[in-house]
Amino acid sequence: MAGAAHPGLVGIFGRPYLDLETIVFERAWGNASGPASAAIFPELHEEICLALAQMPLDYTGGSHRSMDIMPEARRSEALVDYQEVIRGMTDAEFETFRSLSDDPRAIDASRRRELEFGEERAISLSRRQMQWLKIRFGVFFPWKGYVELIPNRKWEDKSNAEGKSFTRAAEAFFPKTIAFVRSLPFASIGRCNIMGLEGFDYGTVHRDGDPADQSAPDQFITVVPAANKRLYLWDDRCTREVDVDSRVYWFNDFDYHGVRADPFFRYSLRVDGVFLPAFYRSLEERFHAR
């Protein structure tokens, strides 16, 4: 539990989240590239903004309610969920939906009641399908500025670096960001992406797994170079939001979390992997004892 003040959060080392901004830049942590510093944030921000302006942006989220990963009190905030929409389509609508797939032949309309689509499901949505779901049915995709720098197909593989690398587009558009990511204290990196939200959108409150199934929190670092994305944790027992007030942080993503609405585009950079042992020990020493 993340302290008496937050009985509804599991947290990390007895805290709701860890502010890593100081410790992550303290020393090289065994990485040959050496420590970066927060002084690089304005440069990263320029690079990331320019890249996002030139790249096709993907959508993510949009089915948190049907995935059953939202707290009861906040389920209505998912608005229109695409899995629910797809299930409710007429046969003619489903045929249009199927035709917009990147591979329509892979979708057997006669089995549509058994099929699931999108994030973490067997059949992913094409960009055209997402646009149609949004434009025709009003589906709410909270993250409309999503870019995978190191793609990862399944959530449970996100710490595993095997067979993965930065995409060619990422190498072309994000050289400074990639150098920065490589300077972070990871022994291996299995996933790296930009999570951007359009102005006025919010990130629906959800959790990425059930804490009952967890032996230890998944390891990752989130960086917000512009310090303008307002993530919060949701203590479901106290029905209270807990602000994450840092530009570099790690939280337990099996705790509920969401992003507040703001009237402008904002993003974070998330890197998943396995921490260097020395870095993990240092976190334990620094945060656990206090």
Residues at the site binding Fe ion, with contacts judged by CB under 5 A: 208
| Residue 110 burial by Cβ neighbours in a 10 Å radius (0-12, 13-18, 19+) | exposed
CA dist., res. 172 & res. 54, Å (int): 11
| Nearest CB to Fe ion, comparing residues 173 and 267 | 267
CA distance from start to end of the chain: 15
Number of residue whose CB is nearest Fe ion: 208
Query: Considering the complex, what minimum distance in angstroms separates the CB of residue 76 from Fe ion?
Result: 19
Host H or E run for residue 241:
strand 240-243
> Which CB, 36 or 242, lies closer to Fe ion?
242
Instruction: Quote the least distance from Cβ 260 to Fe ion, whole Å.
Output: 15
Give the residue with the Cβ less far from Fe ion, 208 or 262.
208
Residue 19 or 119: the one with the smaller Cβ distance to Fe ion is 119
**Which CB, 98 or 270, lies closer to Fe ion?**
270
Nearest distance from C-beta of residue 206 to Fe ion, angstroms: 6
At 195, list the tokens: 């999570």
**Considering only CA atoms, which of 227, 179, 146 is closest in space to residue 47?**
179
The token duo for 132 is 């149609």
Q: Name the minimum Å distance from CB 208 to Fe ion.
A: 5
Q: How far apart are CA 266 and CA 256, in angstroms?
A: 20
Q: Cβ 203 to Fe ion, closest distance in Å?
A: 8
Q: How far is the CB of 240 from Fe ion (least distance, A)?
A: 19
Return d(Cα 19, Cα 21) in angstroms, integer: 6
For Fe ion, the closer CB: 189 or 259: 259
- As a whole number of angstroms, the distance between CA 189 and CA 161 comes to 5
The nearer residue to Fe ion, 20 or 36, going by C-beta atoms, is 20
DSSP 129-156: HHHHHHHHH----SEEEEEEEE--SSGG
What angle separates helix 41-54 from helix 175-183, to the nearest 10 degrees? 130
Closest approach of Cβ 199 to Fe ion, in Å?
21
Give Cα 193 distance to the centre of its chain.
8
